[in-house]
Amino acid sequence: MTAAPSPRCDRISELTADQLRARLTEALHVYVTAMGYPPSTATQRGPMWSAHTMRPGWRCVGAFNDRDELIGIGYGYLGAAGQWWHEQVRRGLLSVGGDVDRWLTDYFELTELHVHPGSQGGGLGGEILRRLLLGAEGSTVLLSTPEGPTRAWRLYRRLGFDDVLRDYRFTGDPRPFAVLGRSLPLAD
């Protein structure tokens, strides 16, 4: 068992697919800890995260403490027809008469953004997101997040994300989610 991450961020850097795979256990630990999921969730998500690294437009940014431990992670890629998330959001938009063409054409899917709880509250999530989107392909960015007043919600609103779909239930998850989006690039 590793020690709890230090809250101080020493560096933020882009990660290659090989670098993420080398730190996948660490990245998944940040994910399950930040989301409050049981540790067994990491076993299920690991192969999916590895497969995502091969998608067009994939980008990843990691934040590290002064002991070179991963304390924050964000990644995404170009969304496309046939991908599970794309098809779920398409179904939701069609059910409410949403603008499928505007949102599901030429978009970057912000797939994961997580900061270890011991490092939250100091703007690290926002910095990871800004760096990730700085080089992202696509004319828009989309994400999904559980409904509710959270730090993530406040971050997305501060950065200009608007409602695309609200109170949506993805197949296999009973919780209500919001799909949020905005145009790219982000303003400085």
Task: Give the CATH number, domain containing residue 67.
Answer: 3.40.630.30
| Residue 8 pLDDT grade (very low, low, confident, very high; cuts 50, 70, 90) | confident
Dist. CA 114–CA 132, nearest whole Å: 13
- Does residue 176 belong to any structural domain of this protein? yes
* CA dihedral angle for residue 173, residue 178, residue 183, residue 185, rounded to 10 degrees: -70
* Contact (Cβ atoms closer than 8 angstroms) between residue 63 and residue 70: yes
Share of the chain above pLDDT 70, in %: 96
75 belongs to the catalytic site: no
Confidence tier at 188 by pLDDT (50, 70, 90): low
Reference 93, options 142, 155, 56; nearest CA is 142
Establish if 174 belongs to a structural domain.
Answer: yes
**Residue 15 exposure: Cα atoms within 13 Å on the Cβ side:** 25
Give a yes or no: residue 188 inside a domain: no
Per-residue confidence at 148, pLDDT binned at 50, 70, 90?
confident
- Structural domain tally of the chain? 1
Contacts of 67 (CB under 8 A, 6+ apart): 5, 6
Domain enclosing residue 94, as ranges: 9-183
Residue of 126, 130, 142, 38 lying closest to 89 (CA atoms): 142
159 in helix, strand or coil? coil
* Among the ranges given (1-10, 89-98, 153-162, 177-186), the one the predictor scored with the smallest mean pLDDT: 1-10
* pLDDT band, residue 1 (cuts 50/70/90): very low
Q: Could you tell me the pLDDT band of residue 80, with boundaries at 50, 70 and 90?
A: very high
| Residue written as token pair 């926002």 | 126
Residue 2 has pLDDT above 60, yes or no: no
Q: Across the chain, what does the average pLDDT equal?
A: 93
Structure tokens at 107: 């978009």
Return the axis-axis angle of helices 151-158 and 124-134, rounded to nearest 10°: 50
Looking only at the bridges linking them, the beta strands covering 140-146 and 107-115 are parallel
Catalytic residue among 75, 107, 156, 168: 156
CB atoms within 10 A of CB 56: 9
Q: What is the mean pLDDT of residues 71-76?
A: 98
Where does the pLDDT of residue 146 fall: very low under 50, low under 70, confident under 90, or very high at 90 and above?
very high
Does some domain include residue 149? yes
Find the mean pLDDT for residues 72-91: 98
